Amino acid sequence: MKLLLNGAPINAQATTLADLLVAEGFGGAKVATAVNGTFVPAPERADYALSAGDAVEVLAPMQGG
């Protein structure tokens, strides 16, 4: 299915947000996620079903000051 990941179009086989994170190399990373502008907490990612055309944002926390 076609998705936007951090603004870039991708073709993904993943059906859940958790599966997409693993497939795109974010599996074990501490990240914040949003789908179509709505925050998705880490405990909900395994059950969050993706749909074609969804815009997924993955943000890593920044270090330093």
pLDDT at 64 over 90: no
18: domain CATH number is 3.10.20.30
Neighbouring C-alpha atoms within 13 Å toward the C-beta of 11: 0
How long, in residues, is the chain? 65
Taking the model in full, what pTM does it have? Answer: 0.91
Range of the domain at 7: 2-59
Domain count, the chain: 1
pLDDT tens digits, 7-56: 999 999 999 999 999 999 998 889 999 999 999 999 999 999 999 999 99
Query: For residue 65, what pLDDT is reported?
Result: 61
Query: For residue 62, what pLDDT is reported?
Result: 72
Residue 64: inside a domain:
no
64: which strand partners?
none
Query: For residue 52, what pLDDT is reported?
Result: 98
Classify the C-alpha dihedral 39-33-41-61 as positive or negative: negative
